[in-house]
Each structure stands twice: as C-alpha cells, then as structure tokens.
Amino acid sequence: MTDRPWTAFYRPGARTEIAAPAYRNLGDLIGSVAETFGKAPAFTCCLPNGMNGTLSFAQVDEMSDAFAVYLREVAGLNAGDRVAVQMPNCLGFPVAAFGVLKAGCVLVNVNPLYTAEEMAKQFEDARPHALVIVDMFADKIPAATQGHPIPNIIVTRVAEFFPVLPRGIVGLVQKVWDRSVQPIEIAHIRLPSALSAGRAHRDSGAIEVEKYHQGVGADDIAVLQYTGGTTGVSKGAMLTHANLLYNMEQSMDLLSGLDRGKETILTALPLYHIFAFTVNMLAFYWMGSRNILIPNPRPLGNLKRAFENYKITFMTGVNTLFNGLTNEIWFRDSPPKHLKFAGAGGMALQASVAEKWEEITGKPVLQGYGLTETSPVLTFEPLGKTRPGTIGIPVPSTDIAIMDDAGNPLPLGETGEIAAKGPQIMKGYWEKPDETAATMAGEYFLTGDIGYMDPDGYIRIVDRKKDMVVVSGFNVYPNEVEDVLAAHPGVIEAAVIGVPDEASGEAVKAFVVLKDTSVTPEAIRAHCKEHMTAYKVPKRVELRDELPKSNVGKILRKDLRAEEMKGA
C-alpha cells in the first residue's frame, strides 16, 4: 500500500482499508438483505403518467429464487453459463438479474436499444445460453441470433408485476395505440410462466436455491459487462463477485448521512450501465432502500410524477440529466424537498451545472470517476469537501498512481496516465488475454485517461488518451462508427471524433470522403441510424476531399481534433 494522504478527507468512521466484503457472493447478499427488510418496498417502477408497480424485498427474493430454479432445472443451465438480460429499468430487471446470480450463472448486461447488428456482435462473443428480453425489442431476436442461436428466450414487459388494471392498460396502449410491441415470431416463454415453472420444481423437489451458489467463490465471474477500449473492439469485462461486493462497500463507505432502510433512490440511469448497476441496484439494495425505477427518462417530463409521488432522498445521474432538469420549469418550481445529495458519474460534471443544481435544490452533486473495468468506482468527492475541477479522492482500498508512457510512477503534480490498483479491478477481458495484458502496468490498471494528483490526493483529469467519445455518459467508439460509415456505397473513407456539445457533453462528428458526390450528410446519417443505436449516430457530418494521414496512410484523428479546437 502506498501513502494515502486522501484518507484525511474520509468521513469519521469510514474504513481506509476493507479487509474483505461482508458477503461471499452476490447470491448470499440478496437473500440476507431480504431477510432483514422483508415486506418493505424494494423496487417501484414509475411510468410517466404515474402508473406504477412495487415489489417488496421478500417478493424480489422469492421471484429471483424461482427464476434461478427455472434456469437450472427447466432450462438446463449450469454454473458459469451466461444469461443475457436486455431490458430497460423495470421490475423484471432485478428479478432476472438476481435470479441469474443466485443460479451461479454469469449475467451479461445488454443495452435494450441496440440494433440487431449490435446485439449479434455481443451475443456472438458472450455465447449466452439464455436471453431475458423486453417484448418491445423482441422482434430483433431472429436477426440478432442468426448463426449463433440462443436456446432459451424469456420475454418480459415494462409493466410486468404491476397490478392487473394498470398492467392491462399499458399492454393495450403498446399493442393497439402506439404499436410498440409487435407479434413475437420465435419460440419463447413469458417471464411469469418461467417463474411458475421454477416454483413448481422448487416446491415438488424440495430444492434449496442456496445450493446453486454455495460453490460460487469471490473470484468467480458474476457479470460480463461490455465495453470498448482503445481499439474500439467490443470486450466483455469479467467482473467477479468480489469486484462488485468490494466496490459496493467502497462507494457507500464515503457517503455520509444515509440511513439503512430509510432512503428512497431515484434510478433514471439504465441498470444495464455499470454505474447504476453497482451503485443504484446493488449498493442501495444492500442499504435496504426503496428504488424508484424510471424505464425511460426522455423527455425529462417522464420524471415529474416520480418526483411528485415519492420522497426522493438520493439520485444518480450524468451531467446532461442534471443540466436538463435544471432547465425544466416544473423542476425549478418544485425541486425535491427530501433530497440529501446526488451522485454524478459517466461523464465530466460541468462546474456550471453543479452550481445551478445546488442553487435550485440546495443540495450538492458529488462527482465520481471510474470505468467499466473497475466495477466502476475509483474516486468520489466526499460530502462537504468537494473541490471544483477534480474527480474527488480514491475510495477505500484503492491506490491511484500517475504513470509515464513507460508505466513508471510520476511525482505528485506531474501529468500522466491515471492508473489504479484495488479489489474492484476486473479479472480481465473475456477470452482476450492479450487485451487484458495491454491494460496493465504491473499491478496497476491503465485507465487511458490523462491527469494529475494534488499533493493531498485530489485528482484532476486534463485529457483523454483514448479516442472514445462520451455522449451523455455513454461510450461511443470511433472504429465502430467508421466501420458503419465505410459500408455506405457512396463513401470512400471516414473518420470520427468527439466534439463539444452543450446538450450531451460531447457529440459524434464524422468527416467523410465521398465516391458518389450526390450523397448528402442527411443520407449518411440515415444510413447510420439503420445500423446503430441513436447516441452513436454522428450528430454532424462534414464532407471532405481528403483526410489527414500519417506517412504510412493512417488517418490522423488527432489532426482533425486539433482543427476542430482551433475553429472553436
């Protein structure tokens, strides 16, 4: 362990070193917490019109037990088999995710907004044995599984586990009014039916669900969380049970003023994103909090009824969410009265946004920093000790070093690559040992971000080593977008960079050289929309006669970025 001057800023009672997590694995955690909080509400899904459904800790525990039995006894999965879960924030998410973990299987989080093409790439790599998907997106399954079928398809819906009347109304609207749910043309089972089948096996055979995860150790993989990286090639970060359990405790140890069993957290960030998964779902479940799930936070008016109907004490978000809310008249007129503070991650929190938020709510936004590969939290701002322009201080059991290009530590105050060591660092990339080795400098994980550390331990990011673009907290990898652009018959070559954007922090900009001069920027964007989810589609397309290249013919994105900054 290196010197840790930042521990002087920890709250009283916070641990500087976490010797071991409180639980052996996540399956143990889920059942233990449910025993403590029983009939208290655990998850509430709130729709824009206020319709809602709620599951207690006991109900989530029982349902996830039944799903674990379904996976093992009916679907025939074994420990370590992968299960993809692809749905927005809804009651089915914790039931499915917790069931996967209790079954001793590996959870594969999938963005529900992915196109069939994007789904296919992730499925091909992860090779899941089962898929739990919301009905709104089930029509993409045939194309997404062509060539690598998934044997078990379980379909759920946004209003699953709501009371009968609102569930029926929502279903009718989706099928008849907005036609967001199409007929499902593949063999599948509905999630409630899967739970019923699991219960039947559990009750008839006296099955003890605990046996499935009894042999699951701290170093076993819990989640395959997909990320890009410096190459832009999609990789599954292998996050172990220990990684997530440690990070859950590391995050909560720095937060003061929270009471077990008394908090209500708003979850507008998607649970398939690692920040919301670890902090919102796992950590606040462990705290016995009530979690208000928002299936779709866009437009921001979708959050209005949740703020009106529930006493929100904590929420997480990205800069764009906080910025957007401060510009909503209804939010400014009636800010949340019970809020203690908010947590920001996923992208840089702009100082002006933080100031405006605190001015309206009277409470601060605490900024954190991390990556998918770090489960994700590495640093966090302590309450009452925030410092503008920083990403806070390292969480317990975490060492941060600033490295030069050769992987050697630099003195305090010097700028280099931020590297981290701690129990939350991933086991590695799924089936990519070379990629894993490339991210390590001895025991330290190289983040790809450039920054420096103040003498007392606060860390500042000054630039990004990676070419990755962060759009509203979501990672966009230029190689992927460039591949789609290059597939257009009228395009010779293309390059993609991130440019500043008031609404989303950064936006994707494409520079394109055409072979067919009749092709318009609008046509290029339309082509991208067919193959990628919306946040990856270039917001701006600039047509060029040629692109800057190195002497070996490599397109120089850095030159394009320099041009863009000069123009700005």
Name the pLDDT band for 178 (thresholds 50, 70, 90).
confident
Residue 276's pLDDT is what?
Answer: 95
Query: If you average pLDDT over every residue of the chain, what do you get?
Result: 92
The residue-averaged pLDDT of 482-486 equals 87
Residue 229's pLDDT is what?
Answer: 41
Residue 346's pLDDT is what?
Answer: 78
Residue 480's pLDDT is what?
Answer: 83
Give the C-alpha separation, 83 to 151, whole Å: 11
Q: Which CATH architecture has domain 240-465?
A: 3-Layer(aba) Sandwich (3.40)
Residue 231's pLDDT is what?
Answer: 39
Look-up of token digits 């317990």: 396
Per-residue pLDDT tens digits for 497-519: 999 998 899 999 999 999 889 99
Specify whether the CB–CB gap between 349 and 365 falls below 8 A: yes
240-465 and 469-567, same CATH topology: no
Give the C-alpha separation, 103 to 211, whole Å: 9
Domain boundaries in the chain?
Answer: 25-35+55-216, 240-465, 469-567
Q: Phi then psi for 470, rounded to 5 degrees? A: -110, 110
| Residue length of the chain | 568
Residue 59's pLDDT is what?
Answer: 98
Residue 230's pLDDT is what?
Answer: 35
Reading the block at residue 555, the tokens are 């397109």
Residue 364's pLDDT is what?
Answer: 94
Residue 76's pLDDT is what?
Answer: 97
Per-residue pLDDT tens digits for 374-413: 999 999 999 889 888 899 999 999 999 999 988 999 998 8
For the chain, percent of residues with pLDDT exceeding 70: 97
Give the C-alpha separation, 366 to 323, whole Å: 14
The residue-averaged pLDDT of 15-21 equals 96
Reading the block at residue 74, the tokens are 């009916």
Give the C-alpha separation, 510 to 512, whole Å: 6
Name the pLDDT band for 461 (thresholds 50, 70, 90).
confident
Give the C-alpha separation, 504 to 290, whole Å: 29
Specify whether the CB–CB gap between 295 and 270 falls below 8 A: no
Residue 551's pLDDT is what?
Answer: 52
Residue 389's pLDDT is what?
Answer: 81
- Asked if residue 553 has pLDDT above 60, the reply is no
Distance from the first to the final alpha carbon of the chain: 44
- Asked if residue 418 has pLDDT above 60, the reply is yes
The vertex-211 CA angle with 210 and 217, nearest 5°, equals 90
Residue in 328, 334, 343 with CA at minimum distance from that of residue 309: 334
> In sequence order, which residues have a C-beta less than 8 Å from that of residue 483 and are 6 or more positions away?
none
Reading the block at residue 513, the tokens are 């050289």
Give the C-alpha separation, 107 to 85, whole Å: 7
The residue-averaged pLDDT of 466-475 equals 84
Residue 20's pLDDT is what?
Answer: 95
Specify whether the CB–CB gap between 85 and 109 falls below 8 A: yes
Residue in 413, 488, 502, 421 with CA at minimum distance from that of residue 452: 413
Per-residue pLDDT tens digits for 212-233: 999 999 999 999 999 854 334 5
> In sequence order, which residues have a C-beta less than 8 Å from that of residue 230 and are 6 or more positions away?
438, 448, 465, 466, 467
Name the pLDDT band for 180 (thresholds 50, 70, 90).
confident
Residue 173's pLDDT is what?
Answer: 80
Helix pair 521-531, 478-486: axis angle to 10 deg: 110
CATH fold group of domain 469-567: GMP Synthetase; Chain A, domain 3 (3.30.300)
Strands 440-441 and 444-453 come out as antiparallel
**CATH tag, 25-35+55-216:** 3.40.50.980
- Residue 524 exposed, middle or buried by CB count within 10 Å (0-12, 13-18, 19+): buried
The residue-averaged pLDDT of 343-361 equals 87
Asked whether the whole model's pTM tops 0.85, one would answer yes
- Enumerate long-range contacts of 155-158, CB under 8 Å, 24 or more apart: 155/184, 155/188, 155/189, 155/190, 155/191, 156/87, 156/90, 156/92, 156/96, 156/132, 156/190, 156/191, 157/90, 157/92, 157/181, 158/45, 158/47, 158/87, 158/88, 158/90, 158/134, 158/295
- Enumerate long-range contacts of 17-23, CB under 8 Å, 24 or more apart: 17/396, 17/397, 18/246, 18/249, 18/250, 18/253, 18/396, 18/397, 18/423, 21/218, 21/242, 21/245, 21/246, 21/248, 21/249, 22/245, 22/249, 23/245
Reading the block at residue 56, the tokens are 């207690």
Per-residue pLDDT tens digits for 230-281: 334 579 999 999 999 999 999 999 888 899 999 999 999 999 999 999 999 9
